[in-house]
Structure 1
Amino acid sequence: MNTKSIRFAAVMAAVIGAFAFQASAATVTTTGTGVGKDGDIKVQVTFDANKIQSIKVLSQNENPVLAEKVFTDLKDNVVKTNSTDLDAISGATFSSKGFLAAVKDAAKKAGVTLTKDGQKSLKKAASMIPAKSTYDVVVVGAGGAGFAAAIEAKNTGASVVMLEKMPTVGGNSLISGAEMNAARNWVQPKLGILDDSAERHAQDTYIGGDKKGDLEVIRTMTGNALSAAKWARDYIGVRFEPDNLFMFGGHTRKRALIPYGQTGTEFITKLYAKANELKIPVITNMKAVELIKDASGRVVGVKATMNGQNYEFDAKGGVVLATGGFGHNAAMVKKYDPSLDERFKSTDSPSATGEALYMAERAGAELVNMQYIQTYPICDPVSGSIELIADARFDGAILINQKGQRFVEELGRRDVISHAILAQPGSYCWVLWNDKIGNISKTVEAHPDEYSVFTKTGTMKTCGDLKCIAEFTKIPYSNLKATIDRVDSMTGPGNDKDFHNRGGLVDMSQGKYYVVKAVPSIHHTMGGIRINPKSQALDKNGKVIPGLYAAGEVTGVTHGTNRLGGNAYADILVFGRIAGEGAAWDALSLGKTAK
């Protein structure tokens, strides 16, 4: 090779090398952080030529069910559109915002400008769902009752599909405390409770609802609650605390089993996993809009919509409505109880909007007890959500007003406590407990996210002494001290001379002390579809509407005027199972659909 050739080769090598360097330099990986609902979300984002190539979630503490589609669908759409200007996943707004903020943070560090208005550029992929399909059983709603119905229908031998209008499953069943009443359960003997019974549970429920519930339906719930709890434990895999029970207001015995984590996440994650194991299709973002009836009056399917497209799901055996109540629909709440106006927030999932009730009514079902709407007494003044950390009241925490005085039995009925709080100065109260109580109930340990959030928002405080509590709450110290001294003089079961706390007061003479501010929020709608003990929907004449079943909060005859705490999960699992099995047997008797 001559000198000119050598020089030319050297120059070309340098040029090629420079291009190679520039190409490699265009690929950049950075990390970013955003704040989700339950803490920081940290991501690692790889960019190439100013475009997102991949996103890896390094750490997050979000609810695994609610936030599932944030870290799948939303993440994929961010990459697809090269934009964080996208709509949040409904039901997981704060998780979505935290994730998008984390990606923005990573882009800023990388010096990358993302695309604006990604939502407009996002094109929906063509759906693989046929416009019309046929199953033995169609379940509307993917909460606890829906999953129980679908699993039982499948195990009875039916083909089944679940339709959920939200992007994620779970509904109120996911975000509840999820304690489940079951008389004569396996924990009661460990606590010396040997005289409970399904009938005692039924009477507590009937009386707690002011005798407005259907006692035959109530007895079906209480008589099958223990078998449903064992089914959840042994077949579904739900873990319960082995040596602890809650005693909610209105009950005469401790009987509420407590799931690990003290939320519905333990139930829903296990129910969802079982549905997947059984290969039950769960179609999210699919909103049921109308029930289909044949010439004989039998319900034989559901019309639904997704992304503006219409679908029909025919059901040979029947349709199970498990869509929950209407506690998140402020206009509907006010319609049936005008006193529950705009002042009230809601503890409920965004899915609890009640349109399925009118869908059932158009199909001939009778709606009953719609005016009975429950507020949960102990909720966050900022968000309206239940303060699960304040479940310490079931183990001795006291409720005090702004004067530092107790004003109601802490284990009273939810409606009684709510009305009592609304009658106090400012229509709020303080929940106060100490480490002696906290070590029994382990509430702070079970809900560290709440402890952190409520402390940051200024509604909760931890103190070493009562003077610190008085300063934080602005309650006169002398009043607060007098109340604690009074409590300490009446400790133990049966000694509360002022409000007759049925669980017994606990010595609070020494701290640490915990206090949290609380207000009532809309929580449960007792009204809904009239059903019989077989979970069949009834018309205004009490006749069965063939092919239509209902379970859970969408029904209206179990709880009367007031649902007792711990009865929701008993209700949804017992009647969900009954409805699913009944619809499946209908399909088998009519000739099972080939699948």
Structure 2
Amino acid sequence: MKKLIALALALLMVLGLAACGSPKPQAEQAGIQDGTYTGEGTGKGGTIKVEVTIKDSAVTDIKVLENKETQGFDKAMETLTQSIIEKNSTEVDTVAGCTLTSKGFLEAVNAALASAGATPELLKKVNATTADAAEKKDVEETHDIVVIGAGGAGFSAAIEAKMAGADVIILEKLPVPGGNTLISGAEYAAPANWLQEKENIKDNPEQMAEDMLKGGDNKNDPELVKVVANGALDGAKWLRDVVGVEWENELMFFGGHSVKRSLIPKGASGQEIIVKQQAKAKELGIKVLCNTPATELITDENGKVVGVKAEGPDANYTFKTNKAVILTTGGFGSNIEMRKKYNPEIDENILSTNSVGSTGDGIVMAEKVGAELVGMEYIQTYPICDPLTGTLLYFDDARLYGHTVIVNKEGKRFVEELGRRDVMSMAIKAQTDHCCYEIVDQNGYEQSKLEENHAAEIKYLYDNKLLVKGDTIEEVADFFKIDSTEFKKTIENYNKYVDAGKDPEFNKRSMPSKVEKAPFYVIKAVPAVHHTMGGVKINTNAQVINKDGKVIEGLYAAGEVTGGIHGTNRLGSNALADITVFGRIAGCNASK
């Protein structure tokens, strides 16, 4: 009997030890159970919720149930879905230009797998398909016009050319159209506009041209400046009446302008411009090829541009043109080596607000066929950007409504809040820790529609301790270790200046309200590269000029890829006027 009891105890101990071990989950033993599973991640716009369908340990479908990503950027999730299903793996590359959206989407998919009691490694391994291994095919097409770059300038050019009767195709190297326009605030300087009339603001194209020349230290080409200033209002109306862009019923006052003249797109975001331009392009039947970077301009024996070579995911393309190529590829703010080549001070230590696509490709291609480059050393920084990523902060809209005060670590003002971007940026870089702190009160916060237009950004700033909200000046100062005594004194003095209607310290040109109503909001910010003023030389017809001062036949350019329009420094909200005016000119003239 004792032996039987001992044997029974031993057996129980063995079973107990087995129970105390770490058994493999069911999914690991027999694959992932078929079914649909949900998961969540955090993208640029907030929560991304997905539903993942699993069959035979393979992802067969992914549905996005919830997201607040910017229209355009949400296309990245379609690209990732295709890659995950094809490879049956979440180990896929993020989509260029959509890093935060990509990471949030992949986080959600992996969370869905986790809810199935699985890990990404348990997905059934698949071999590379024949299509993956196959060589790309060679494709040759002929169009009247090839537009290189699907940003605001590219769409403006393509739409005008198509409406003039030309056969047009747009090439875009990124998976998502939009370029810098999509990620900008897209405010638009337009002299003598309809809102200025309502507010009885006196303005005209000549005054805008004077502001542009002064802002660019008179290094601008006066004739190009005149074209932008004279065409800006018509361009804004064209976007409204032809493209369908909605403008808000108020204006912004950008630094360096002599009057308040900048229109605001619906939602204070370039999304309004690009979404409406894409819709118009689709309506007109304009084909847009994404993931298809242009690599070379094709010229004939006389130097005329007669086509483009490009690389797609599945094909090497040769696009021949009956009429012209239009370059709208943007600047080179995200190309560190190119920045250092032309301005060694703008090195890898300075972050950038630009799209990852802003690498100067069009400038390089144009130079290879003889284009003259101008103003390449002029690189602008934007003063109020994310200290972690360099992203432009739309919280700064409050400054452009005139509602904020900017101080340093010592709690003192050191620059006019509505000054030129380059002046403000250099002033901020000279302060303690090379950063600044921008404060707005509750009145300014509400009037600037920060929560309404930029809720996702505000959450991000709170999460990363770059924004604080407090009931007193001392409370917000202490959060960032700002000298609270000086900060309080600075705000008191500023409020007196508002009462007096004059700023004796920095001559701030617009002070519509005091900073006095709690709670108070303060962000920490740094400058980052925002615009490259240099690029290919063009004439008033948007034709590219060569090193001998002659027109390169068959080649037009518009937008940030060009140089000479903004001189040493671009005034805020002039870019949208520039890309629209010269985009339209390029499209019209190229189609003739």
TM-score (norm 1): 0.91
- Does structure 1 retain, via aligned residues, the 8 Å contact 2:76–2:102? no
Deviation string for 1:332-364 (max 9, x for gaps)? 111111111222100000000002211101111
Q: Which residue of 2 aligns with 1:472?
A: 479
Name which of 150, 153, 158 aligns with 1:150.
Answer: 158
What one-letter code is carried by the residue in structure 1 that aligns with 2:437? W
Q: Deviations over 1:175-206 (max 9, x none)?
A: 0110000111111122221x200111111001
Are 2:100 and 1:94 aligned?
yes
- The amino acid across from 1:206 in the alignment is L
Note the alpha carbon deviations across 1:139-186, whole angstroms, 9 max, x for none: 000000000011111000000110111111111011011000011111
Matched, 1:137 2:119: no
Query: In the alignment, which of 32, 36, 42 is matched to residue 35 of structure 1?
Result: 42
1:539 and 2:560 correspond: no
Are positions 1:548 and 2:543 aligned together? no
2:403–2:515 contact (8 Å) kept in structure 1: no
Aligned partners of 2:491, 2:580: CA distance in 1, in Å? Answer: 41
Alignment partner, residue 172 of structure 1? 180
Q: Separation in 1 of the partners of 2:477 and 2:336?
A: 36
The structure 2 residue matched to 1:428, chosen from 407, 431, 435, is 435
1:352 lines up with 2:358 in the alignment: yes
Evaluate the alpha carbon distance shift between residue 487 and residue 109 of structure 1 in structure 2; reply closer, same or farther with a 3 A threshold: same
How far residue 218 of structure 1 moved from its aligned partner, in angstroms, is 0.7
Alignment of 1:401-550 (within 5 A): 401-491=408-498, 494-504=501-511, 506-550=513-557
Given the alignment of the two structures, is residue 400 of structure 1 paired with residue 418 of structure 2, yes or no? no
Residue aligned with 1:286, SS: coil
Where does structure 1 lack aligned partners over 5 or more consecutive residues? 1-22, 586-595
1:44-89 CA-partner distances (Å, limit 9, x unpaired): 122223222322211011112022132x232123223322111111
User: Does residue 331 of the first structure (1) align with residue 337 of the second (2)?
Assistant: yes
**Does the 8 Å CA contact 1:390/1:443 hold for their aligned counterparts?**
no
Residue of structure 1 equivalent to 2:276:
270
Question: Aligned residue for 1:107?
Answer: 113
Question: In 1, distance between residues paired with 2:500 and 2:577?
Answer: 27
Evaluate the alpha carbon distance shift between residue 331 and residue 281 of structure 1 in structure 2; reply closer, same or farther with a 3 A threshold.
same
Q: Is the 8 A contact 1:415 1:562 kept in 2?
A: yes
Q: Which residue of 2 aligns with 1:18?
A: none
Residue aligning to 1:373:
379
> Are 1:583 and 2:590 counterparts?
yes
Structure 1 residue 74 corresponds to structure 2 residue 80? yes
Matched, 1:223 2:230: yes
CA deviation after TM superposition for structure 1 residue 215, in Å: 0.9
What is residue 23 of structure 2 aligned with on the other side?
none
State the SS of the aligned residue for 1:503. coil
Instruction: Provide the rounded CA distance (Å) in 1 between the counterparts of 2:126 and 2:336.
Output: 28
Deviation larger for 476-485 or 563-572: 476-485
Q: CA deviation at 1:445?
A: 2.6
1:63 aligns with 2:70: yes
**Structure 1 CA distance for aligned equivalents of residues 318 and 503 of structure 2:** 59
Distance 1:27 1:412 in 2: 61
3-state SS of the aligned residue for 1:229? helix
Whole-Å separation in 2 of the counterparts to 1:37 and 1:249: 28
Instruction: Quote the offset at 1:307 in angstroms.
Output: 3.6
Partners of 1:50 and 1:113 within 8 A in 2: no
Partner residue in 2 for 1:190 = 198
Residue 441 of structure 1 and its aligned partner are, at CA, apart by: 1.9
Partner amino acid, structure 2, of 1:570: A
Q: In 1, distance between residues paired with 2:281 and 2:117?
A: 44
Measured against aligned partners, the alpha-carbon deviations of 1:288-339 in whole angstroms (never above 9, x if no partner) come to: 1111111222111111122484211111111000000000011111111111
Say if 2:138 and 2:315, in contact at 8 Å, map to a contact too: no
The Cα shift of 1:446 comes to 1.6
The offset of 1:494, in angstroms, is 4.5
| Secondary structure, aligned partner of 1:548 | strand
Partner of 1:213: 220
Deviation at 1:114, TM superposition (A): 4.2
| Aligned partner letter, 1:318 | A
Aligned to 1:247: 253
Q: How does the TM-score come out when normalised to structure 2?
A: 0.91
Match in the other structure for 2:292: 286
In structure 2, the gaps of 5 or more residues are 1-29
1:287-306 mapped onto 2 (5 Å cutoff)? 287-306=293-312
Distance 2:464 2:333 in 1: 25
Alpha-carbon distance, 1:129 to partner: 8.4
CA shift, 1:110, in A, is 1.6
Q: CA 1:28 to 1:504, structure 2 compared with 1: closer, same or farther past 3 Å?
A: same
Amino acid at match of 1:539: N
State the shift of 1:90 in Å.
Answer: 1.3
Q: 1:479 is aligned with what amino acid?
A: E
CA RMSD of aligned residues (A): 2.0
Residue number in structure 1 paired with 2:265: 259
Amino acid at match of 1:446: N
Equivalent residue pairs, number? 559
Which segment drifts farther, 352-361 or 436-445? 436-445
Check 1:539–1:477 CA distance in 2 against 1; reply closer, same or farther (3 A cut): same
What is the distance in 2 between the residues matched to 1:129 and 1:435?
60
Which residue in 2 is equivalent to 1:7? Answer: none
Secondary structure, aligned partner of 2:490: helix
Among residues 183, 186, 207, which one is paired with 1:200 in the alignment?
207
How has the CA–CA distance of structure 1 residues 287 and 493 changed in structure 2, closer, same or farther, with 3 Å as cutoff? Answer: farther
1:277 Cα deviation from its structure 2 partner: 1.1
Supply the distance in 2 between the matched residues of 1:298 and 1:200 (Cα, whole angstroms): 38
Moved over 4 A (4+): 112-120, 122-130
Q: How many Å separate the matches in 2 of 1:118 and 1:234?
A: 53
CA distance in 2, matches of 1:118, 1:565: 51
Secondary structure of the 1:131 match is strand
Per-residue CA deviations over 1:232-263 (Å, capped at 9, x if unaligned) read 11111111101x11111110111110011111
C-alpha distance in structure 1 between counterparts of 2:458 and 2:126, whole Å: 35
The percent identity for this pair of structures is 47
- Classify 1:325/1:427 alpha carbon distance in 2 versus 1 (closer, same or farther; 3 Å): same
The offset of 1:123, in angstroms, is 6.4
Q: Separation in 1 of the partners of 2:413 and 2:162? A: 51
Classify the secondary structure of the residue corresponding to 2:75: coil
**Maintained 8 Å contact 1:490/1:505:** no
Tell me: CA distance 1:315–1:450, structure 2 relative to 1, closer, same or farther (3 Å): same
